[in-house]
Amino acid sequence: MHKSAIYNYNDLVPFLQDYFLFIRNNRKSFSYAAWSKTLGFQDDSTLIKILRRQRNLGPKVVVKIENYFEFDHEEKEYFRLLVLLSRSDLTPETQEKLCRSLKPE
């Protein structure tokens, strides 16, 4: 899975879940704990709560994930839109329209 795959998503959680599964299928030793450590989290509960939608991404977590994926400027903007949308009460249709407006052509 290439980092630019983020543009295939209108929701950050499935993007992160799919990335985890992709890496896990290719590297059996990959785990939530290992990924959390690589991201610089103190424990794996932060990542697990994000993936279960029990925790929103704070500014420090956003930066850690952006750095991990080495997003370019446009990818960062798109990722940050997904972060904002994860906290919004917008309808899925409105969220999809916003995402389409930032996707590269």
Q: Which domains does the chain have, with CATH numbers?
A: 3-102 (1.10.260)
Which residues are CB-contacts of 18 (< 8 A; sequence separation ≥ 6)?
1, 5, 9
Q: What is the pLDDT of residues 14-62, one digit of tens each?
A: 999 999 999 999 998 999 999 999 999 988 899 999 999 999 999 999 9
How many whole angstroms separate alpha carbon 70 and alpha carbon 48? Answer: 21
Q: Give the residue carrying structure tokens 């969220």.
A: 95
pTM for the whole structure: 0.84
Which residues are CB-contacts of 17 (< 8 A; sequence separation ≥ 6)?
51
